[in-house]
Structure 1
Amino acid sequence: MVDGSMLWSGSASFGRQRYLGIISAATTLRHLDQILAHSIVSSHHPDLITVTALLRRVSDLGGSAAAPHALRLFSSVEYPDIFLLNVLLRTLPHSFALPLLSSLPCRYPHLRPNSFTYATVASAAAARPESIAALHARIVVDGFANDPYVGSALADLYLNSSQVSIAEKVFDAIPEPDTVLWNTLISGLVDNCSFSRATSVFQRMMISNTAKFSSTTLAVILPAAAELQDLILGSLVHCLAIKLGFASLTHIVTGYSINGLVASSVCLFKKLLALGVETPNSSTMVGLIPVFNPFGYELLVTCIHGFSIKAGIALNSAVSTSFTAIYCRVDDMESARRVFDAMPKKNIASWNAMISGYTQNGMTEMAISLFKEMQVSNVKPNQITVTSILSACAQLESLTLGKWVHDIIIEERIELNVFVLTALIDMYAKCGSISEARKIFNEMEEKNVVSWNAMISAYGLHGKGTEALKLFEAMLSVSIVPTGVTFLSVLYACSHGGLVENGQAIFKSMLCDYGIKPRPEHYACMVDLLGRAGRINEALEFIQTTPESSGPGVWGALLGACMIHKESKLARMAAEKLFELEPENPGYYVLLSNIHSSKRNYLEAAMVRQDARKKHLLKSPGRTSIEVGDVMHTFTANGNVHPQSPAIYSELEKITAKMTEEGYQPETDAALYDVEEEEKEHMVKVHSEKLAITFAIISTDPGTEIRIFKNLRVCLDCHSWTKFVSKITERLIIVRDATRFHHVKDGVCSCGDYW
């Protein structure tokens, strides 16, 4: 206990060592005030060593709340040295450190920041992203841009802000980076999902004459090897670990798990427990959890989770995040959310695991909701976050939400790497804005094969086959090697553009020129290509040459072609095959029934539907969604639940009357068969897209673009009706149905009536 009498007794002989001893024994800020007062009265103040000890003790006892106290103490020294300044900066909260550094030239012109000063302030700048550029500029001006210690802190600052390219420039400016700096860059690249760049840096480190590996180096590169499924790199890291003496049983457990040898991983872990050689810790658990190969190991995951709880490490951030990720991958979303909610401290990786899990499992609204919750929690999103959310927006087909996320990317200054830009292309394309998707594609400095695939696929989705082919040729001209996904995207574009000869040539080139073996979806696309063009017999001959493993896709494509061209005989054969392959799919029964109805074989149509009813097969009803403002409205056939239904039906009658004057006649063939299982027109019922478009007309200003999204293929009558509406209202109407986009303007559809 420190009190006044203890300080004042024998003050004449009071020296520095005694002050230091009493400072370390102080238990309250009041005690420190008494010590400071005594040192002033006894003329021992300012003594830099004593003040430094006082400053450290102020921080220990008062934490961030004692910042004003610490600043007053520092200000009491007329000529503080740089060591005292650095101690103060380490004790101050972030909101105080940056202003203090800025005030140095005026208040303490004799102080010259050193590498420790800037490294300390760099960590404080993480809380104020707007100050990073100014801090970086000052570091350069003061000559510390090539200092490894400062460079490591600055690179880490940029990486935590997802500004990967600038972090790499900081690294490149340092002539001889040390191990810490190499590790900082590799780890940051992995955290930002720049796995290829991380492995590239690791390879540079291997050939460097000055770099030395540490166990941290090998630990941070392993996740990149796993994500890239690079077994060679994983094996190389394992060999390095053994050679350098870093390999522990925990590392080997992790290596087995990452490379899919889950059984070996578990066996070794059991031996580890039995021998008691190493105590399992959070790293062991993260390595043991088969995140990269989860399927078929659901029971094992549950057992590992139970062990983690018993061992008291289940709430560790890395362990909890791994369990969240693996539960999401096996579609156990309830367990994933329980683990996520139980985390005492959630980092960005934790949020990303849960958000991406929702997105990948089609729970897009939950993903959006959790993202908003993350924002409220003041957790800054990174590239992984926005990539997942953009995917959710694309699935929801919500352009408003997609633009909102795009605005966040700009506001938060999230670096536009190839993954984020590709996600933006995909979002804009699937939400109907092909021009914006192409604009982003054109502005990309770095394009990988996924970026090219996304843009080619976008053109196919919008029925722009010629543009897709031109882009494919441009891709080959810059030496980007196509993948199976590339060929699938091009074939899809050819199919919806009627480019049969081009599609056939590309399919042949796929195997002959690039050695890519066609998958079932490629065969199905070729059948669709031939069938849509009316070459149904050729399509059947093609099916007979495909492997048995092609599955129901090829027969489904043939049945779809039969519906387009009303080929009932061949349709029956295709349907029978599909009933065997996928007996629980009601769509095939509906398609076959529609084909019979279009040929006026009503008895056959009724029998097909009766078979479906006997098997309790129900087809999803047709529905159309439209976004007006920030609200999504959904309509069903002949629906009357919308609050503006009376106004919608009234306007629909006016539009129909005006269209009739312009020459519109209902498509009687469409009325005879039911594409979306909606009621027939002769029963005075309307399809959902008509209601959605009419609602848009009465809810938006004249000339406003209309975008609707239909869950099923648009029927002939609605397609014709939409063309007439676009002409009489002078609007661009974009319709996304189950197969593609239709851009309808001035009475003409972009599909050329070929869909």
Structure 2
Amino acid sequence: MEAFVRMVRAGSAQPDSTTLSSVLPAAAEVADVTMGRCVHAFGEKCGLAQDEHVVTALISLYAKCGDTECARRLFDRMVVPDLVAYNALISGYSVNGMVGLSVELFKDLVTLGLRPTSSTLVALIPVHSPFGHEQLTRLNDMDSARKAFDAMPEKTMESWNAMISGYAQNGLTEKAVALFQKMQALNVPPNPLTISSTLSACAQLGALSLGKWVHKIISKENLELNVYVITALIDMYVKCGSIVEARRIFDRMDNKNVVSWNVMISGYGLHGQGAEALKLYKDMLDANLLPTSSTFLSVLYACSHGGLVEEGRTAFRSMTSHYGFTPGIEHCTCMVDLLGRAGRLKEAYELISEFPKSAIGPGVWGALLAACMVHKDADLAKLASQKLFELEPENTGYYVLLSNLYTSKKQYSEAAGVRQEAKSKKLVKTPGCTLIEIGDKPHVFMAGDRAHPQSDAIYSYLEKLTTKMIEAGYRPDTEAALYDVEEEEKEHMVKVHSEKLAIAFGLLNTEPGTEIRIIKNLRVCLDCHNATKIISKVTQRLIVVRDASRFHHFRDGVCSCGDYW
């Protein structure tokens, strides 16, 4: 861009269409729309703006800088847009989250008989870091992308990566892993981006056996172990429950970047090891690495799950006063969660009024409601719930939490009112399910599940195990069960929760002393938490549970969370 400005000012050489179509991508790359407009105006003045290469470069510039309307106007003025112009606008819509328009344009392209290339596919599914939070495509868009991918006679590395990354970023983790497996079957060698995206999918699944398989492929293919691949490995081991292995890999890294540190700090928080997370944060500062906004989120999360209230306050103050970060929604949510878990509900509520308005969303009020559930504050829970019903009227979870709180306080008419309101809105509770891997095979259980081939053996074993648990002091906690059923039926309802079935299946199908690992899609309930502590004691097994918010390591009747979750 500087060279272009010097050229125009000198006047010794006249820019042509090639000059403009070279400088516009540079402006797009740094999102300098003002410079882009100046080049556009210069092109109009010199009669160069109608050249198809210049128009395509302008479409790309405006789209990447967020002005999709201007990009579309330029596209519509083209007599016969070529594939490159289509790709530029499809990519622009995708990066701006306008996925419907992106797919519509892709369908137009196919209807007109233009043959999509790997560049089209990459435009449709922008490839981002597996640690990013962008959710740029939806399920129907991934289906369209897959059809385009399958129709390609020759698939480039770009197109494989776009599909695997697209699946991983959109939570379609099984499809991401299946596509990677297909890639292996076809002997297509992966590159570091393929590996990072696949590891991200394994991390989301919690599939340790798959993650280890990918790790072996890294060694087998002699792939470059760059910082992104190693960080993805750490993230996978953290989220699959192997915090020790994650730390071993972290310690052996030669060139750690701030993301590597953040992933490891966050990992300790996820496993309830707040003190270790804070120690690592101090080591990071001692290594003269500047923390990012994500670093502070990891630290606050760790403090929240470890009950480290004062340490969390210090980190939050340091983030704003020393490092100049403006707290985002997630930071504020963590602070409310930190105070709420510690029983400082009034303080948490007062803190919300001090937050910037932009940071007060469902996460903040949801954290307060969850804390009210733990500490049985029905009045404040009602206030938080009203805010949440306004912000996210379709979220069933808030109705379930409030109803359970009323039930636990024996306020049955209020609980019935909440359930009736959810029913009138036709809201359906997310069913709980638990995954366990035995060998390399995953098994998924629902509450009261009778579909598994070993179902009779599982229930028979669970009956015997429950007898031993009761002898060891276990008493079913039926507090959150439906209030209008008999106590005996309540006990049966909690007895067949999905995690109990998964644990019983794991105990039946593994050798004594083998570690049991399960993954629950919802937060583990109080009864299952108490039951798992007792099971770990009577069976002498280590049981690792990953629920919707953290890991629990049960050993000898004690949980690593210290009953603080």
TM-score grouping bracket, smaller chain normalisation:
0.7 to 0.9
1:612 to 411, 422, 443: 422
- Cα distance, 1:659 vs. partner? 2.4
Correspondence 1:500-515 to 2 at 5 A: 500-515=309-324
Give matches, 1:227-626, under 5 Å.
Answer: 230-231=30-31, 249=54, 250-269=56-75, 273=78, 282-291=83-92, 293-296=95-98, 298-299=100-101, 302-303=104-105, 306-307=108-109, 310=112, 313-323=114-124, 325=126, 329-331=136-138, 332-549=141-358, 550-626=360-436
Letter of the 1:314 partner, please give it: R
Equivalent of 1:739 in 519, 544, 549? 549
Task: Give TM-score scaled by structure 1 length.
Answer: 0.64
Q: 1:563 is aligned with what amino acid?
A: M
Shift of 1:262: 3.6
How far the C-alpha of 1:607 sits from its partner, in A, is 2.0
Counterparts in 2 of 1:679 and 1:377: CA distance versus 1, 3 Å: farther
Residue 646 to residue 319, structure 1, CA distance change in 2 (3 Å): closer
Q: Which amino acid aligns with 2:137?
A: V
Q: Which residue of 508, 511, 521 corresponds with 1:701?
A: 511
1:196-235 equivalences under 5 Å are: 230-231=30-31
Q: Identity rate of aligned residues, in percent? A: 58
- 1:300–1:316 CA distance, 2 compared to 1 (3 A): closer
Question: 1:345–1:234: structure 2 CA closer, same or farther, 3 Å change rule?
Answer: farther
Encode CA deviations 1:658-688: one digit per residue, 9 max, x unaligned.
Answer: 22222333335466779xxx97216684222
Aligned partner of 1:531: which letter?
G
Alpha-carbon contact 1:324-1:339 (below 8 Å) kept: no
Q: 2:90–2:105: 8 Å Cα contact kept in structure 1?
A: no
Q: Deviations over 1:362-386 (max 9, x none)?
A: 1111212222222222221111111
Which stretch of the first structure deviates more once superposed, 348-357 or 254-263?
254-263
Inter-CA distance 455–516: structure 2 relative to 1 (3 Å threshold): same
Q: State the secondary structure of the residue aligned to 2:431.
A: coil
**Are the structure 2 counterparts of residues 296 and 582 from structure 1 closer, same or farther at C-alpha, using a change threshold of 3 Å?**
same
Taking structure 1 as reference, are residues 281 and 495 closer, same or farther at Cα in structure 2, changes over 3 Å only? same
Is the Cα contact below 8 Å between 1:726 and 1:747 reproduced in 2?
yes
Given the superposition, is the C-alpha separation of residues 635 and 673 from structure 1 closer, same or farther in structure 2, using an over 3 Å criterion?
farther
Q: Distance in 2 between matches of 1:480 and 1:233?
A: 32
Given residue 290 of structure 1, which amino acid in structure 2 is its aligned partner?
A: S
Shift of residue 409 of structure 1? 1.4
Distance 1:726 1:220, change over 3 A: farther
Instruction: Measure how far apart 1:296 and its partner are.
Output: 3.3
Aligned to 1:20: none
Q: Distance in 2 between matches of 1:388 and 1:223?
A: 27
Query: Which amino acid letter does the alignment assign opposite residue 746 of structure 1?
Result: D
Cα distance in 1, alignment partners of residues 332 and 57 from structure 2: 44
Partner of 1:71 in structure 2?
none
Which residue number corresponds to residue 14 of structure 1?
Answer: none
1:694, CA displacement in angstroms? 1.1
Query: Could you tell me how far 1:725 is from its partner in structure 2?
Result: 1.4
Q: Which residue is equivalent to 1:652?
A: 462
**What letter is aligned with 2:234?**
I
**Contact 2:478–2:494 under 8 Å retained in 1:** no
Correspondence for 1:688: 498
Q: Describe the superposition over 1:550-607 as per-residue Cα deviations: whole angstroms up to 9, x where unpaired.
A: 1122111111001111111221221122122211111111111111111122222122
Partner Cα distance (1:751, 1:666) in 2? 20
> Is the partner of 1:658 in helix, strand or coil?
helix
Shift of 1:234: 12
Provide TM-score, normalisation by structure 2.
0.84
Matched residues in 2 for 1:727 and 1:308: separation? 62
Q: Secondary structure at the match of 1:680?
A: helix
Instruction: Quote the Cα distance in structure 2 between the aligned partners of 1:613 and 1:649.
Output: 32
In the aligned structure 1, how far is the partner of 2:263 from the partner of 2:199? 14
Gaps of 5+ in 2: 1-16, 43-47, 128-134
> How many residue pairs get matched?
524
Partner of 1:181: none
Residue 693 of structure 1, CA deviation: 0.9
SS in 2 for 1:632: strand
Instruction: Tell me if the contact between 1:314 and 1:320 (Cα under 8 Å) persists in the aligned partners.
Output: no
Which region of structure 1 is more displaced relative to structure 2, 446-455 or 656-665?
656-665
Specify the code of the residue in structure 1 equivalent to 2:241: G
Aligned with 1:720 (options 530, 536, 539): 530
CA distance in 2 between counterparts of 1:509 and 1:536 reads: 23
Aligned pairs for 1:101-120 (under 5 A) are none
User: Relative to structure 1, is the Cα distance of residues 587 and 344 closer, same or farther in structure 2, using a 3 angstrom cutoff?
Assistant: same
Amino acid at match of 1:724: I
Contact 1:383 1:415 in 2 (8 A): yes
- Indicate the residue corresponding to 1:641 in structure 2: 451
Instruction: Give the match for residue 9 of structure 2.
Output: none
- With over 3 angstroms needed to count, the CA separation of the structure-2 counterparts of 1:533 and 1:305, relative to structure 1, is same
In structure 2, relative to structure 1, the CA distance for the partners of 1:600 and 1:378 (3 Å cut) is: same
Cα distance in structure 1, aligned partners of 2:23 and 2:489: 59
* Aligned positions of 1:30-49 closer than 5 A: none
- SS at 1:488 equivalent: helix
Amino acid across the alignment from 2:560: S
Report the Cα distance in structure 1 between the residues aligned to 2:527 and 2:206, rounded to whole angstroms.
Answer: 24
User: How far is 1:287 from its partner?
Assistant: 3.7
2:98 partner letter? G
Q: Deviations over 1:594-653 (max 9, x none)?
A: 111111222221222122112111101222111111111112222222111221122222
Give me the whole-angstrom Cα distance separating, in 2, the residues matched to 1:583 and 1:266.
35
Shift of 1:293: 2.7
CA contact (8 A) 1:709 1:737 kept: yes
**Residues 219 and 492 (structure 1), Cα distance of their counterparts in 2 relative to 1, 3 Å cut:** farther
CA displacement, residues 42-80 of structure 1 (integer Å, 9 cap, x when unaligned)? xxxxxxxxxxxxxxxxxxxxxxxxxxxxxxxxxxxxxxx
Structure 2 residue identity aligned to 1:752:
G
Matched position secondary structure for 2:346: helix
Q: Deviations over 1:160-182 (max 9, x none)?
A: xxxxxxxxxxxxxxxxxxxxxxx
Compared CA separation, residues 340 and 223, structure 1 to 2 (3 A) = farther
SS in 2 for 1:289: helix
- Higher mean alpha-carbon deviation, 249-258 vs 603-612, is at 249-258
The 2-side partners of 1:301 and 1:608 are apart by 40
Q: Distance in 2 between matches of 1:563 and 1:538?
A: 16
What SS does the corresponding residue of 1:351 show, helix, strand or coil?
helix
Amino acid at match of 1:649: Y
Amino acid at match of 2:104: T
CA contact (8 A) 2:437 2:517 kept: yes
